[in-house]
Amino acid sequence: MAEDSRRMEEEDRGPGAAFQVFVLMEDLLEKLRLLNYEEEVLKKHNMRPISRLYFALPTNPGEQFFMFCTLAAWLINKAGHRFEQPQEYDDPNATISKILTELRSFGGIADFPPSKLKAGYGEQVCYVLDFLSEEVLKHTGFTWKRPVYPSEELDEEVIVRMMQS
């Protein structure tokens, strides 16, 4: 029964929906790098860097959940709200509840069951962290700018070689 409703939900969203979590995770990782998470989180907690698939696929749910909570707490604090760093043996349900309360206080929407976050991976985990990282970027005054491409003036010599080929 649950399998059927999940399959119908995926069909309603279209064929590319299954890959959305990978795009979201890659965007999240870029934002975390912009916010210097390597120095401020990883070194402080003696953790390894996350890959561009880290929260998209299940690998080690306990480790992924702890990393999710650690990053969420750091992002909430960095966005200007006070949030105590969760400990490894804290009640996961209480921690998720606090994170979702903060998410809503920033204007985020949590229209999914909290148990989706407890897994430590998936689209909802990526969404929460991505939303919080956006809030930090807003709080710090970061703005995205259009890329500046180098001009591609070709030497006459290069043009001649290209024409001879």
**pLDDT tens digits, 46-81:** 899 999 999 999 999 889 999 999 999 999 999 999
- The reported pLDDT for the residue numbered 165 is 61
Question: What per-residue confidence (pLDDT) applies to 26?
Answer: 94
**Would you state the pLDDT for residue 8?**
47
> What's the pLDDT score for residue 5?
45
pLDDT for residue 88: 79
What stretches in the chain show pLDDT beneath 70? 1-13, 151-163, 165
pLDDT at 2: 42
Rounded to the nearest 10°, the torsion over CA 105, 108, 113, 115 is: -70
Q: For residue 57, what are the contacts with CB-CB under 8 A and spacing of at least 6?
A: 121
At 102, list the tokens: 């903060």
In the prediction, which pLDDT does 45 show? 87
pTM here is 0.79
The predicted pLDDT at position 104 comes to: 94
- Select from 103, 105, 109 the least CA-distant residue to 69: 103
